[in-house]
Structure 1
């Protein structure tokens, strides 16, 4: 006799949302937000188009879920890096950003679709927090307000560099330049 397993409503909801986010992530990474329609996402996820509106309101709501998941993945990867190794962390960040489609989702379509303020809010809970913490460890004693501004400026530089690398430029010159900027801010000892 076959044993039937029944999933709860919450489990079915989570499975459908996960399937939609996964399918949408792949399509947005390949074709950009504007190049993908809700019917195509639903078909790739194996659900009806109504599932998108039921779980995410619309394609933009689904995209926001994709962006949030992507930013959380970046933040988690950076959080695992050992404290005190800024050079290693910078190199690791570039490696993490090389995930296919990540720059498209986070750095091109994210600000265009969700807006700069919403992207800053999402980033504040992930990668920006890790950058701020790394800078605080590297530049001890810096005024917290100045440190926050520095993190924001450097974050923009990191993002621009990631876009260039995604377009085929070598990462090493950007890594060297960013590390040079950070090192140049260290207080002189002795």
Structure 2
């Protein structure tokens, strides 16, 4: 079966994102050059600029893909159902599992905000894993005194999840972080 131009184009785009991800983790954004990216991807410099305006646009695509994978992993581990509390706790474990992927914490929580700015990284988070958390909190808090606070609580808990992921990356005990997040969630329904 012959590949279409669209298939080849998408394959090239994914090769650039994969190469960019590897180099951004290995060397950091600032120390990664576009010639290194195209060399690693096995494409021409023209192909890079056909798919991405510049290195920053490629970096954004890497961050968006990572954030999407985090959200997908959480949703797969914590499907919506009759037990929102359990789904959020399962989602907590899934978040820490998926953030353990080498380089992910650096890309999403350190370099992402530094390179793209907090407004863009915040928007990406709002559309991905924070959205999943917000839906879980809305289900958990339905009918409670905190029901109207679900959206803001999602913002605050999302920040707590990120700080915990950074702490784990720096050597904190994961179970203690999970227990602390669970205590925060339990406090919302007391």
TM-score, with length taken from structure 2: 0.90
Q: Which of structures 1 and 2 has the bigger CA Rg? A: 1
1:98 — aligned with what?
Answer: 100
Instruction: Tell whether 2:46 aligns with 1:44.
Output: no
2:79 — aligned with what?
Answer: 82
For residue 131 of structure 1, report the CA deviation from its aligned partner. Answer: 0.7
2:143 — aligned with what?
Answer: 141
1:131 — aligned with what?
Answer: 133
User: 1:159-178 counterparts in 2 under 5 A?
Assistant: 159-178=162-181
| Offset from partner CA, 1:13-49 (integer Å, 9 cap, x none) | 1111010001111111222212211111111000122
Distance 1:28 1:170 in 2: 27
User: Which structure carries more helix by proportion?
Assistant: 2
RMSD: 1.6
Count of equivalent residues: 183
For residue 72 of structure 1, report the CA deviation from its aligned partner. Answer: 0.7
Of 138-147 and 70-79, deviating more is 138-147
Q: Which runs of 5+ in 2 are unaligned?
A: none
Structure 2 SS opposite 1:57: coil
Contact kept, 8 Å, 2:113 with 2:121, in 1: the verdict is yes
Contact kept, 8 Å, 2:99 with 2:165, in 1: the verdict is yes
1:186 — aligned with what?
Answer: 189
Distance 1:166 1:36 in 2: 23
Distance 1:136 1:7 in 2: 44
Distance 1:178 1:12 in 2: 44
Instruction: Tell whether 2:19 aligns with 1:17.
Output: no
Instruction: Tell whether 2:65 aligns with 1:69.
Output: yes
For residue 139 of structure 1, report the CA deviation from its aligned partner. Answer: 2.0
User: 1:110-125 counterparts in 2 under 5 A?
Assistant: 110-125=112-127
